[in-house]
Each structure stands twice: as structure tokens, then as C-alpha cells.
Amino acid sequence: MKLKIAITLLGAVLSTALALPSYAQEAKPAGARQGQDGQGGEKKREQGGEKREKKEGEEAKREEQKGGATDEQRIAHQMPLYPLDTCVVSGEPLGADAKSFIVDGRLVRTCCGRCEAKIKGDAKDALKKLDEAIVRKQKAAYPMERCPISGEKLGEGAVDVVHNSRLVRFCCEKCAGEFAKDPELSLKKLDTAYIAAQKKNYPLANCLVMGDDALGDGAIDHLYGNRLVRFCCKKCIKEFRSNPDKYLAKLDEAAKKKD
């Protein structure tokens, strides 16, 4: 009887084991799996980082255009567009004690805190002077011949609007009013026009930061203010932003040699 029971139990165990899936046959060697995950994971993390950086840059730009960015972000974005090297109130040179702040969406710079207080008390005259300087400086190299809203040619009656220290031109007051409702689309058109206008005579065939890396089909066209700067990858944009004066001097030197 005991022998019969033992045989019966052994048969049940064997039947259960045969019914189970063979995980050992499906599993990959641990070393191979770790190697693949490590290489693939690193690539995915790198791609994810670039996507996040691109997304953050685009979001910051949209926030700047819509007026939702912080003052620090607005100042950094508008600084390369600022047209004056003197105080908008006193006319004194902007030295080490210069103040940079935002008024009505525009960057304003003064020589000292006293002049800053005057503008914040009544900014009308200072902003008028500043806007005139922005229009005067940017109009000469303005890249669009047509209104970004209507597509009509810009004639003598064109309307000049300063938006976040940037000149945007329209065929009429109506189009200027439409722009104010949603600036993003018109500013994208303006970006494209600036890039196209400067790309034809861009003085470097290699990345401004890396130097030896040729600018291929995947090159990044970046506007610093209204100036085109070209890079081999997103990482180089971050390096450029850490010291733009250094790299712009290099670009200026290359332009001189080309001329």
C-alpha cells in the first residue's frame, strides 16, 4: 500500500513539472541581456536628454513670446538684441553697476538704481527712446519683404512693432493687431527668414564650438538674438551659451577672412 501511494505521488509531481513552461529556454544569458540593456539604455537616456533640452528650449521661447517667462529668462533672451550701450535715462555708459530689468515685456538697462527707479515711476519716454533705437538698429537687416500676417508686400506705410526687443513689421495696423493676439506663428516666420538670409553667406563649414566637426544635413541653425550661429549638435548650443562672446569673436574673425 505504501509503495502504491509513493508511486502515485511521484507521478503527480512529474506531470506537474512537464506542464510548466520552460523559462530557462526562453531567457537570454544574463551577461548578454545586461550588455544590451546598458548600451540601449545609455542611448535612450542620451536621446531623452536631447529631447528634453529641445522641449525646454522651445517651451521657454513660447513662454517668452506669450509673456509667461520669468524676468531672468526674458533678460537672457533679449540681451543680444539690446541696442544701447548707454543708460536710457542719463546717457551715461553702462558699466559694472548697470541694472537690467523688464518693463512692459522689454529689456531696459540703466547705469544705476536711481535711473531704474525713475523708469519704474514713469517708463513712457524711456520705452519710446528704446523702441526707436531697436527699430533703427534692426530695420537695416530686416529679412522679410512681406507682412507675416497677410502676405502683402511691406510698403512705405508699413507698421513697425517692437515685441520683446525684436522688430516685427506689418502691412497695416489691422495685421499688427492680429499679431498681438498670437505672436508665435509670425515670429517663427521671422526666425526662418533670418536664418535663410544669413545662411547663404555663413562663414564657417564646421561647428562653431567643436571646430573639426563638419556641418552636415543634421546641423542645428540657432538664432542668438537675430544672428545665425550653426552647430553640429544640441550639446554645442549649451557650450556656446556659457560664453557667447568668445564664440561670436571666432565667428566675426571667420567672416572677416571670408570677405
Q: Which residue has the higher pLDDT, 113 or 32?
A: 113
Q: Do 121 and 162 belong together in one domain?
A: no
Show which of 136, 155, 184 is a domain's final residue.
Answer: 136
Q: Do 196 and 206 belong together in one domain?
A: no
Show which of 176, 200, 224 is a domain's final residue.
Answer: 200
Q: Is 253 exposed, middle or buried (0-12, 13-18, 19+ CB in 10 A)?
A: exposed
User: Residue 188 domain-assigned?
Assistant: yes
Q: What percent of the chain has pLDDT over 90?
A: 68
Domain with 81, as residue range(s), is: 69-136
Among 94, 89, 95, 85, residue whose Cα is nearest residue 137: 85
Q: Do 259 and 207 belong together in one domain?
A: yes
Q: Which residue has the higher pLDDT, 33 or 222?
A: 222
Q: Is 142 helix (H, G, I), strand (E, B) or coil?
A: coil
pLDDT in tens, 17-41: 434 433 333 333 344 444 444 555 5
pLDDT in tens, 62-101: 554 445 689 999 999 999 999 999 999 999 999 999 999 9
Show which of 98, 118, 136 is a domain's final residue.
Answer: 136
Q: Which residue has the higher pLDDT, 133 or 211?
A: 133
The pLDDT assigned to 159 comes to 98
Lowest mean pLDDT among 19-23, 124-128, 155-159: 19-23
Q: Do 147 and 132 belong together in one domain?
A: no
Q: Do 189 and 206 belong together in one domain?
A: no
Q: Do 75 and 128 belong together in one domain?
A: yes
Q: Do 214 and 251 belong together in one domain?
A: yes
User: Residue 57 domain-assigned?
Assistant: no
pLDDT band at 160 (very low <50, low <70, confident <90, very high): very high
pLDDT in tens, 165-199: 999 999 999 999 999 999 999 999 999 999 999 99
Q: Do 179 and 127 belong together in one domain?
A: no
Q: How many domains in the chain?
A: 3
Mention every residue, 6+ apart, whose C-beta is less than 8 A from residue 187: 65, 163, 166, 168
